Chain A
Amino acid sequence: MTVNAIRKATVGQNGVGAFVLQCKRLDFYYCDWAGSSKGMNSFLKNSLSRFAAANPSIEMTVSPRPRKHPVIIGHYINGRHKAICVRNLEKEQILKKAELLRDASGEKLKRVTKPVKSINESVRGVWSPFHHPSGTGMRV
C-alpha cells in the first residue's frame, strides 16, 4: 500500500483561472533638493501618469522624503514589501525598476536551478522505503 498525501480540494495556481497581480501598492519617494533625485523627479513628472494609467489595480503614492535618496517601495498581497533605491538613475531606468516591482511576486528571491517546476502530485506517489518493487523493501 502506498502512502498518499492529504488530498486537497483545489490548488491555488495564479493565472490558471484568473490572474491576480501580487503587487498592491507602489510608493515613490523623492527629494526636492538632492541631485540623486533628478531622474526620479523627471520620471514622476513625465512617465508616472502613463505608468499609473496602465496599472490601475496598483495604488501609487508620491511623497517627498527630504535629504534622502529616491526609493520605490512595492507592497505585496502576501504582506511583504520590496524597496529599490533609484539614486542617480535616469527616468527610463527607473521605469524598468518600477515594472520589476510590479511584476514581482513579493516572495523572497530564490535561486532557480531546475527548468521546470510543477505543483502537480506525482502519479507514482511519494517514495517509501517499505515498498520496493523487487520486494527487498525494509522489513518492519
Chain B
Amino acid sequence: MSYAYLFKYIIIGDTGVGKSCLLLQFTDKRFQPVHDLTIGVEFGARLVAIETKPIKLQIWDTAGQEAFRSITRSYYRGAAGALLVYDITRRDTFNHLTTWLEDARQHSNSNMVIMLIGNKSDLEAKREVKKEEGEAFAREHGLVFMETSAKTSDNVEEAFINTAKEIYEKIQEGVFDINNEANGIKIGPQHSTGNNSIPGGNNRSNGNGCC
C-alpha cells in the first residue's frame, strides 16, 4: 500500500469523552455504536486523500500513559497531530482542557497541530457546554474547533481530515522537518510515484487498509 505521507495522531482528553469511538468511527465506519456499546481500541489506521495525495493516518491511543511520565512525553513527541476531545454534555471535561493543552504544549514539538473536538453533539438535550464556548476556547489558544458526534459520525471524517490538511499545509510551507521521523511524519515508501492515486478515502472495504 503506497502513500505520500504518513501522519501520526494521538487522541487526548478525559476518560469517557468518546476518544475510542471517534477512532473506531473514523477507521472503521461499520462499527455502529448501538445499545450504548462502548468499545475501547488502541490503534487504528486509514488512508485518506488530501489534494489527491494519498495520506495515511495512524491514530495511536494513549491509554494507560498516566502512570509513567516518560511515556506521556514520548507520546506527545512522536505525534504530528492531536485531537483534544471533550464531551459537550459534561462541563468538567471542558474545564480540564487547559491542563491537557498545557501538557501537550509542554511535551510536544511546537509544530504539532491540535484540533479541539466537542464530541457527542447528538445529545443536544443534555448539552452543558455551548458551541460558542468551545469556539472561544479554540480562538484563544489558536486551535481549530469542531463539534462531532461519534455516534452519528457527524463531522468525524472532517475532524481527522482537516487536521491532516493543516499538517499537509505545514509541510508545504516547510515548517515541518519531514526527514525527521520524530515529528510523527513519515514519507511514503514510493513518494515519487504520483500516479498511484487512490480513489478517495471511503473505500476501506476495498483496499487492504482494514480498520
B is bound to A: no
